[in-house]
Amino acid sequence: MPIIELVNATIYQRDNIVLSNVTFSIGKGEFVYLIGKTGSGKSSLLKTLYAELPAEDGVVNVAGFNLTDISRKEIPYLRRKLGIVFQDFQLLDDRNVEANLEFVLKATGWYDEEQISNRIDEVLEKVGLKDKRKSMPYNLSGGERQGVAIARALLNNPDVILADEPTGNLDPETTLDVLKMLLRIADSGTAVLMATHNYGLIQKYPGRILKCENHQVICSRVE
């Protein structure tokens, strides 16, 4: 069963149709690029997938939830099955890495301090930042901050990572490090949908592509 499945879906931004007749699916452990010019609908599509924008037409199923029929009180449960990574990291600068991750776990129903500590260790190890547990975000490099953001997205063992331009603020070498991190996560069984403007990445690490263009989503693959 796909982690994400859209059939003849329409993506809206307020009352404007951004994308129409959108049909694609993403399975467990797949890594998929989402590309397109600025304003082509990439971010609107991602926001629809995590229920920031309403899904009103067609079929939109994400992580077992029917988003055309989801209630407001169900949205937090949907988001526990998703990991969301943004271009600007969105870390809390007034607390260290450990406290950033602890904050998310406690907000999503974790109470046992030992389990919380162990889970923080596990996700930081996955992104190679276990030694940065006590560091403040402003003392980390851009790549390390994005690594912490990815670790945060992994906390609740999500079915899929939705990454909106996660390398947009990073230098080329760090961009590759972050991409490799996301590819490893996909290899471990978590699907990844990554929006990017960086076509050089796709040439270096080819794969399946969803392209937003002319109000459509076109599926293709670069080998």
**20-49, pLDDT tens digit by residue?**
999 999 999 999 999 999 889 999 999 999
CATH code matching the domain that covers 1-81+158-166+191-223, chosen among 2.40.30.10, 3.30.420.40, 3.30.830.10, 3.40.50.300: 3.40.50.300
pLDDT digits (tens, 9 = 90+) for 182-212: 999 999 999 999 999 888 899 999 999 999 9
Ramachandran bin of 62, using left for φ above 0, alpha for ψ from -120 to 50, beta for the remaining angles? beta
Residue 20's identity, in one-letter code, is S
Question: What's the rounded Cα separation, in Å, for the pair 83 and 91?
Answer: 14
Q: How many CB atoms lie within 10 A of CB 170?
A: 20
Domain(s) of CATH 3.40.50.300: residues in the chain: 1-81+158-166+191-223
**Whose structure tokens read 């974790």?**
110
**Tokens read off for 117:** 């500590």
Q: What values do phi and psi take at 148, rounded to 5?
A: -65, -40
What single DSSP character describes residue 35?
E
CB 133 within 8 A of CB 111: no
pLDDT digits (tens, 9 = 90+) for 117-166: 999 999 999 999 999 999 999 999 999 999 999 999 999 999 999 999 99
